[in-house]
Structure 1
Amino acid sequence: MPTIPPQRVHPLGDQPHLYRQAAESFGARAERYDRARPRYPDAMVEAIVKGSPGPAVLDVGCGTGIAARQFQAAGCRVLGVDVDERMAELARRDGIEVEVSTFESWDPAGRRFDAVISAQAWHWVEPVAGAAKAAQVLPPGGRLAAFWNVAQPPPEVADAFAAVHERVLPEMSFHRVKTPPLEGYSPLFAKTADGVRQTGAFAEPEQWRFDWDRFYTRDEWLDVLPTHGIYAQLPPDKMQELLEDTGAAIDALGGGFTMRYAAVVATALRIDAR
């Protein structure tokens, strides 16, 4: 895992699973979330599928089924678990079976899976309890894979967005930190790996990375912005101001920009406990 600079942490700190109100806020914007949130690179999905012993996949925090649909397209059978019935209902429209529960309290009822995945959601799970539950449903050789899309805006875009936040949300000072965005997620990767190690049920965790790009128009980015958990509790007037100022900043940049993403996977294989 990369070194974690002491001044740089994820916006919700290194224990975001404690912020349940943020974790459970996405259902209020389920349609927007499904429409706007980025997908995951095909190379990442292929690597996880090839690195698993079979096609049975459990998707933890499946949300509206963004990742589940990609794994289904790759030939997998997917069961989702999510805390929010509103998100689950949208996923079911695409034929994804979803059970509503926190993962820590979910009852696998003796079922087994070849892979346990979590797309942009494992940080909402208590890391040791989550890894232990994953170990319960995976056979030896089964794979746990938690992954995140980490946005890495070009410098001129990052500076423009930081200026907006300094005006509108000055208390969110993390937007002004200039260290690479991936370092902000390092505590999450470290927490995931530590939780996996503490179970004693997995081989040493690995970190995989898949880089990809996406061009956003002004309207497309303004569609994405309210789906980020750090804005879940903003009053409507503050959200509107943030959207207006961000839109003006994108207009000044020419009406669009290319976001660089790194899809980073924290993954480990279940080992025989004997």
Structure 2
Amino acid sequence: MTPTMSSVTVTTYRMRPPGRASPFPAGTRCGRRRSVPAMLRPAERAGNYLAGKARAPARRPAVRPRSSWSIMPAPVQVPDMNQYPLREQRKQRSREALLRSASKLFACKGFKATTLEEVAEGAGLHVQTLYRHFPNKAELAAAIDRVYFDRFRKAFQARDTDTLTFWRGWVETAARRLTRDGGAAYRRGLENFYTQPSLSGTYLKTWNQYEEILAEGLREDFGRLPPERSNLPMLVACMLWAGNRRAAFEWAQAKGKRDLAADCVAVVDTVIEAFGQYVRPGR
């Protein structure tokens, strides 16, 4: 089929008339020509060819890694526990509730008869929550004893008298508080210690800390001692603690019929009579 004129699009080009010269020198491109003075900017005419419109820096195309193994993982940000005070407060409240529940149950039922499920139920918590704080029942009982030790340590650090005088007042006050209702709970606690071998080693860790703190205070009170008496502060500290523990044991054996406060004070007075002379004046 032969195309007709109506179906053919004819494109025409405007040609330069013959004999008319190009306004640009031969061998150059169209556009602004540095070789044509009339088309130069004033700065370019002065010889500064870098002047003119500033161009934006060329952007390099993003390079895609060929493999995901070439990407280094970002460092993991470890959360600061100080940013979660409410969580720590809840944990502390749960711990205190468990200690209160265990203290009551140990005093009422005894250490051996009390189960961890009962302790958790008494605190209004799940038993798994208890295991997150205490791995076993012995650690739970030792934590109760450490509560009293922490109170003693804070009071000892804030004392305004010598160690022997402070200890005398401390044991007297503690004995009267523990026996004001007959001392049944305290007596049951002592029985738990002497009848449960698993508790002995756990309690001894805390009890040794009592002796160390007392010995440290006595070293300050006694001042510089001759070399042959350098172990005197620890010896006196062990006498204070062991005498106090023996008085409590005899009180428990007597079923609370003895005066625990009087027995504890008598032990301290004996130690003061024997070693009070080593306390420096003004302590």
Q: Which has the larger radius of gyration?
A: 2
Greater relative contact order structure (CA < 8 Å, 6+ sep): 1
Q: Which has the higher strand share?
A: 1
Q: Which structure has the highest helix share of the two?
A: 2
